Amino acid sequence: MTRRGEPLGFPWSQLTHICLEDCSLNDCHHILSQASTAIACTFDVTRSSSLEPTPVSHLHLQNLKLTSAVELRELWDCLTCSSLSTLYVEDPQTHVHGLLEFLSRSGKTIEDFTLDSSALDDTQSLACLRNMPILRRLTVEEFGTGTQFTDRVCEALTLASEGTMSPLVPNLEYLHLIGASFSHRTMARMLESPSGFRPIRHSRPCTLSLCET
């Protein structure tokens, strides 16, 4: 980028892996709209900028990592990634409706999801997870007063609810929670699979990692 924030005449369409630091929302939008062959993109967004509401539909992007000090809603609103398998978002200002809209369009192929420094509540978390039906790996670090991983969410993730034969994310193999708001009693119920709750039946080992802050 130039000092004025204008995109350089760079052959973005030839790149498959892109990592850009200290960029703006407009930089992200421009690169994603031009880098049609990219399969992995990492952006550290430090500056806000107004985006023209031009939709960007990326057919090949598989890995997207966004760390941000500004609100990402404008980017979520116009971006669709139909082949996305790994999504990492570090955004203390997560705009849930923008993220939900993005996941409703792009979440069906996501297998690995990390939400760092999140302040969502448990209802918002469940809404996000419902849009990722084949999710296998989930990492979440709560931020501030966020209470997204309450007992309600933990049970929905790992226990089959009444009237259903599988939990919310039936293919989950790896769950890493940092600063989660669940109780030890709920965790024991899930691990012991007492009467009234059907245990998860995995064909592969499942890893559970917990860290309280």
Task: Annotate 102-157 with DSSP letters as a single string.
Answer: HHHHHGGG--EEEEEEE---HHHHHHHHTT-TT--EEEEEE-TT---S-HHHHHHH
Overall domain count for the chain: 1
Instruction: Indicate the pLDDT class of residue 186, thresholds 50, 70 and 90.
Output: low
Residue 63's pLDDT is 98
Q: What is the pLDDT of residues 114-138, one digit of tens each?
A: 988 777 888 888 899 999 999 999 9
Residue 183's pLDDT is 62
Residue 7 lies in a domain: no
Residue 87 lies in a domain: yes
Residue 180 lies in a domain: yes
Rounded to 5 degrees, φ, ψ at 68 are -145, 145
* Cα separation, 177 vs 20, whole angstroms: 28
Residue 6's pLDDT is 47
Residue whose C-alpha is closest to residue 109's, from 131, 90, 89: 131
Q: What is the pLDDT of residues 70-106, one digit of tens each?
A: 888 899 999 999 999 999 999 876 678 889 999 999 9
Mean of pLDDT values over 183-193:
62
Residue 16's pLDDT is 96
154: domain CATH number is 3.80.10.10
Long-range contacts of residues 53-58, Cβ cutoff 8 Å, at least 24 apart: 53/77, 53/78, 54/29, 54/78, 55/79, 55/80, 56/29, 56/32, 56/80, 57/82, 58/32, 58/82, 58/83
Higher pLDDT, 96 or 57: 57
Please count the other Cβ atoms lying within 10 Å of the Cβ belonging to residue 60. 15
Residue 211 lies in a domain: no
Mean of pLDDT values over 140-161:
70
Helix (H, G, I), strand (E, B) or coil at 94: coil
Note down the domain range covering 164: 14-48+55-193
Residue 125 lies in a domain: yes
* Cα separation, 19 vs 123, whole angstroms: 33
Residue 209 lies in a domain: no
Residue 147 lies in a domain: yes
Residue 8 lies in a domain: no
